[in-house]
Amino acid sequence: MMKIVRHIYPVFDQLVSRDSKEWLLQQRARVIWFTGLSGSGKTTIARDVEKVLYEMGHMTMLLDGDNVRAGINNNLGFSPDDRCENIRRIAEAAKLFLDCGIITLCCFVSPTEELRQLAAEIIGPKDFIEVYVNTSIEECERRDVKGLYAKARKGEIPDFTGISAPFEPPANPAFEIKTEGRSEEECVQELLKFLVPLLQHEGVL
């Protein structure tokens, strides 16, 4: 029979709260929302950050186009309505992870202030940490990691952010990373210095 370890874990009358889950995981959950052009470095940086956080003993979840558009949002395209619904669902999913005490890294172009505002409202401004990965369109196009810029230039991708659809830089991000001429390692270390103190649990409930 399963042993109940009530003497270690606090017991709650009703639902097990987010606070209790954060206590269990010994971390404070936040949503780290990476915004920036395609190819700016969001996923690269977030993956490295996640690896370091894991090594520090933190529980994380990374949401990006690869795992979200392939599954939960596989019925959505890139029209303004679909972009909005895409972000709404991502933010709702991130909030569920947050309520589970999990540090959630979200990597989405989220090109307009309106979309990022929507995400911040759903998640709650206190838990929403906006990180602007600031790489110029010229550099992103030069990198062209997925060949998308070349396609967009040929007119094969309509409404491609930075080419035929706007990107509004965040007015007041919590943190900004400039990647040009800098190593991934440098960018990751800089971000970690900012993030890690925000994720520390005080150790008591």
| Residue ranges in contact with ligand ADP by CB under 6 A | 36, 38-45, 107, 133, 143, 145, 179, 182-184, 187
Q: Which is nearer to ligand ADP, 41 or 101 (CB)?
A: 41
CA distance 19 to 51: 24
CA dihedral 126, 136, 81, 73 (to 10 degrees): -70
The least CB distance from residue 66 to ligand ADP, in Å, is 9
Buried b (16+ CB within 10 A) or exposed e, 52-74: bbeeeebbbbbbbbeebbeeebe
The least CB distance from residue 164 to ligand ADP, in Å, is 17
The least CB distance from residue 5 to ligand ADP, in Å, is 41
Q: Which is nearer to ligand ADP, 91 or 191 (CB)?
A: 191
Closest CB to ligand ADP: residue number:
41
Q: Exactly one of 110, 136, 164, 183 is catalytic; which is it?
A: 110
Distance of CA 52 to the CA centre of its chain: 16
Annotation marks residue 110 as catalytic: yes
**Cα–Cα–Cα angle for 13, 19, 24, rounded to 5 degrees:** 95
Instruction: Cite the active site residues.
Output: 110
